[in-house]
């Protein structure tokens, strides 16, 4: 598939995803629309549910640099759980997990609550080098929790463009042969203002 066709398909997916998210937002936190699964990867094991998992790469396919994992994680149990690691099948590099700004220690999913990974002011999961990832592919991603253990799913790999620009890597190097520019930072407009807003949108 040509690069233009591939990016067109990804853009269409992003638009569909955005529409589904906006529809959920308008319905409120307790609406049944929260049960609608978006196009992006979702799964549940025990008390843990993961929704809207995607791997976001550099916007320029010729550029090298960080990639990120973005997802919403729900804990339906009565005990908090820590997210101990995230691994991508076939990628030897470890994913660096950090709590939201101001947080310390391991990333914790509160009992009966949720966390957002990716986007401005949220927790982050960063792969320093995105080599081995191909836009448009579905890649196996495993989230390992303190109580539930491993939870795996197939997450789409998408470039940090359009809707996903606000959720992608904060460091966006220039493509080879071009003049490096200042690092891009996620757009506040694309990122929900609070966890409640994000939960209502399903990401």
Which domains does the chain possess?
3-172+184-201 (2.60.40.1890)
State the average pLDDT over residues 83-111: 92
State how far the Cα of 85 lies from the Cα of 94, in Å rounded to an integer: 8
State the average pLDDT over residues 167-183: 44
**Res 39: pLDDT:** 57
Q: Which two tokens stand for residue 50?
A: 């993961």
User: Which pTM was predicted?
Assistant: 0.65
State how far the Cα of 146 lies from the Cα of 84, in Å rounded to an integer: 7
State how far the Cα of 117 lies from the Cα of 127, in Å rounded to an integer: 13
In which band, very low, low, confident or very high, does the pLDDT at 62 lie, cut at 50, 70 and 90? Answer: confident
Q: How far apart are the first and last CA of the chain?
A: 29
In 57-101, which ranges are continuous DSSP H helix? none
21 vs 61 pLDDT, higher one: 61
**Res 112: pLDDT:** 97
Q: Which two tokens stand for residue 115?
A: 């966390």
**Res 169: pLDDT:** 66
SS3 call for 89: coil
């Amino acid at each position: 598939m040509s690069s233009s066709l591939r990016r067109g398909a990804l853009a269409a997916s992003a638009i569909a995803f955005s529409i589904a998210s906006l529809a959920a937002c308008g319905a409120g936190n307790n609406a049944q629309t929260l049960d609608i699964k978006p196009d992006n990867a979702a799964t549940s094991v025990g008390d843990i549910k993961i929704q809207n998992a995607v791997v976001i790469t550099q916007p320029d396919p010729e550029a090298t640099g960080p990639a990120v994992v973005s997802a919403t994680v729900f804990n339906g149990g009565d005990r908090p759980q820590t997210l101990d690691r995230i691994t991508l099948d076939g990628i030897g590099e470890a994913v660096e997990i950090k709590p939201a700004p101001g947080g310390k220690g391991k990333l914790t999913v509160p009992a009966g609550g949720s966390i957002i990974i990716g986007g401005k002011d949220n927790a982050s999961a960063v792969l320093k080098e995105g080599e081995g990832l191909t836009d448009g592919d579905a890649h196996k991603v495993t989230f390992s929790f303190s109580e539930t253990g491993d939870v795996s799913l197939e997450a789409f790999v998408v470039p940090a463009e359009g809707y996903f620009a606000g959720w992608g890597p904060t460091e966006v190097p220039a493509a080879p042969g071009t003049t490096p520019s200042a690092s891009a930072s996620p757009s506040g407009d694309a990122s929900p203002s609070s966890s409640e807003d994000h939960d209502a949108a399903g990401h």
